[in-house]
Structure 1
Amino acid sequence: MSLMKKNQKKFQDGQTPPSASVVGTPGGAKTSMGKDQLSKLLDASLGEDLKTLSGFNSREAKTQHKLNALIPRYIDYVHRLMDQGWKHDLLPYYMVWSFDVASVELALKIGFYCIENNIDMPTDMYKSDVQTVMTRCMETWTKNQLDSDHSVEPYFSTLFDAMTGADGSDAWDITDKLSRRIYKLRGLLEDEAGNLEAAQKYLQKAYDLGESVKTKLAEVTKRLDDSKAAEAEKVTAAEAKPDGEDPKDSDK
């Protein structure tokens, strides 16, 4: 079992990262400091921690360090920044770390905060915007969840509705290549849930954007057509039966 999946299981079992109150915080700083002082402290501390993180070669070693060191070290600062309505590069970094250790609810909360407050991804490590990074992270997390037969809700739908504008906001401007993969996942989830019309709709959208789902789309469409035909036959049979006729008396 990979480290990410182990961490996912911890969160599914109700375990959370250690509280920042029992883990060292950057410089042992007090939460009473002002915005500028806090920003300088975080700049220095984050710079050192990013250097340390870049020193790990394997993805699993990086994830382990995020889970055991970075997540608990900065959690109080993340909440304080958002509570105060402040901006700092720590927030988008912490969003990605949270996705990496399967703390998806917090990752989404931070991501939406960044979008609402026009906080960009740090350009020294990311070339994409927050929406794109969130979508990629959600795709990876969703696939890992499905591979382990675990639910992806309500988190997948929360991001999907934001991405497509179904939540009432503007749809995200992300690449067709990424968007079509998310539509495919939504279609597969709807198919698994037995919602054939929705599955066909989303798989068709994925196909229109260039995703290789032709076979799956044809399969779902056939099952949907067969289901509609069966329902039509039932309606026709019910309409053809004389009113008040008791099936038990049909041979009398």
Structure 2
Amino acid sequence: MLTPAQRHFQRVMAERHGKADDLSETARTAHEQILHRMRMDMSALKKIQGEQAKAALKRQLLPNYEGWIEGTLEGDSGRQDEVITRLMIWAIDIRDYPLAVRIGRYVIAHNLAMPDRFNRTAATALVDEICDPILVQVKADDSTDVKPYLAVLDEVQEITENSDMPDVVRAKLYKARAFALCNGTADEQATALELFRRALNLDSGAGVKKLIDKLARQVKKASAENASGSEGADQSGGEGGNNQAAATPEVTVPAAKKPATKNNPGSTTRKTAARKTTTKKPTADKK
């Protein structure tokens, strides 16, 4: 493990290494030292056959490069560097995807070449190496929840969107993102369906035809239920309003206020009786 002073020295040297006008002996020596460390570590890794055992060793070794990683990313020079591109792959191998994407964003932005043995661009390598383990998990157990990877996969999509890569590799990214969404909300399932269709369009052997059929039925059913629920709510609200409007006149308008008409003899009778009462009283006074 690096001491804080060693980490700081690495960071400063990495920043200087990226500057074209800094050709000091110290900067060159620092780069040579970090390359030498990387080659020694690669030699140790070659002696191990098991992939999991190699990943365990990389997990121990990666902290020794923290200063170099931070200095390179902060310097943002874009200078070709075998160390930083290889460390991107190491971060993937130990499942530190956030770190891998941080380095990958820098490597892809500056179009840095990968080490010779990869025979792939940085964007292709990033998508391949991140998506393959996720898709293996799903293949081994289709109930596996890979939604925790969604943020990383979306970021990979963002930084590789304009990069050239084989269609089958791009299809892997669509599939992985679809699997991360297919057990979510109705909107997420609709997005997953579209991603599966894109994957199939790019790679006819993507193995997602049955998934598309299944998910299409689920999306259609959810859409129908949502439409039915909305229609029922609208009808319920409309009927309630009509009933209230119909009931209001019967309650607020009393029969006594209706004008006297031919069809309302009760009012005429009351008025006639009143007039008769009025004319009798003066006659009684005269007697």
Flag whether TM exceeds 0.5 (same fold).
yes
Q: Does 1:132 align with 2:143?
A: no
Choose the corresponding residue for 2:105, options 112, 118, 123: 112
Is residue 11–residue 71 contact of structure 2 (8 Å, CA) maintained in 1?
no
Runs of 4+ with >6 A deviation: 22-25, 144-148, 246-249
Pick one of 220, 228, 241 that aligns with 2:215. Answer: 220
Map Cα deviations across residues 141-193 of structure 1 (whole Å, 9 max, x no partner). 53477777461142121112333x3xxxxx22111112112212222222111
Deviation of the 1:56 alpha carbon? 1.3
Of 200, 214, 219 in structure 2, the residue corresponding to residue 207 of structure 1 is 200
Provide closer, same or farther for how the CA distance between residues 83 and 229 of structure 1 changes in structure 2, counting only shifts above 3 A.
Answer: closer
Identical pairs, percent: 17
Aligned equivalent of 1:21:
3
Instruction: Label 1:223 to 1:42 Cα distance change in 2 as closer, same or farther (>3 A).
Output: same
- Indicate yes or no: 2:152 matched with 1:180: no
Tell me the alpha carbon deviations over residues 2-37 of structure 1, each in whole angstroms, 9 at most, x when there is no partner. xxxxxxxxxxxxxxxxx5327988xx9895674322
Give the aligned partner of residue 152 of structure 2: 155
Confirm whether residue 196 of structure 1 aligns to residue 228 of structure 2: no
SS in 1 for 2:48: coil
Give the count of matched residue pairs.
222
AA in 2 matched with 1:203: F
CA contact (8 A) 1:53 1:65 kept: yes
Equivalent runs, 1:55-94 vs 2, <5 Å:
55-68=47-60, 70-84=61-75, 85=77, 86-94=79-87
Structure 2 portions without partners, runs of 5+ = 14-24, 245-287
Cα gap change, 1:30/1:83 in structure 2, threshold over 3 Å: closer, same or farther?
closer
Cα 1:112–1:34 shift into 2, 3 Å: farther
Name the CA shift for 1:142/1:34 in 2 (closer, same or farther; >3 Å).
farther
Equivalent AA in structure 2 for residue 106 of structure 1: L
In 2, Cα distance between equivalents of 1:135 and 1:104: 11
1:131 Cα deviation (Å)? 0.5
1:241 CA displacement: 5.3
Distance 1:140 1:34, change over 3 A: farther
SS of residue in 1 equivalent to 2:58: helix
CA distance 1:138–1:162, change in 2 (3 Å): same
The 1-side partners of 2:122 and 2:2 are apart by 25
What is the distance in 1 between the residues matched to 2:10 and 2:239? 82
- Residue 96 and residue 245 in structure 1: after superposition, are their counterparts in 2 closer, same or farther (change >3 A)? same
**In 2 relative to 1, CA 145–102 (structure 1 residues): closer, same or farther, beyond 3 Å?**
farther
Letter in 1 for 2:158: D
Whichever of the two has the greater Rg, that structure is 2
Matched residues in 2 for 1:104 and 1:30: separation? Answer: 21
Cα distance in 1, alignment partners of residues 156 and 178 from structure 2: 15
- Note closer, same or farther for the CA distance 1:80–1:235 as it changes in structure 2 (3 Å cut): closer
- Aligned equivalents of 2:243, 2:177: Cα separation in 1: 46
Q: How far 1:244 moved relative to its partner? A: 4.8
Supply the distance in 2 between the matched residues of 1:65 and 1:107 (Cα, whole angstroms).
17
Distance 1:55 1:181, change over 3 A: same
Distance in 2 (CA, whole Å) between partners of 1:223 and 1:83 is 47
Alignment partner, residue 36 of structure 1: 28
- Superposition CA RMSD, Å: 3.2
Given the two structures, how large is their TM-score scaled by the length of structure 1?
A: 0.75
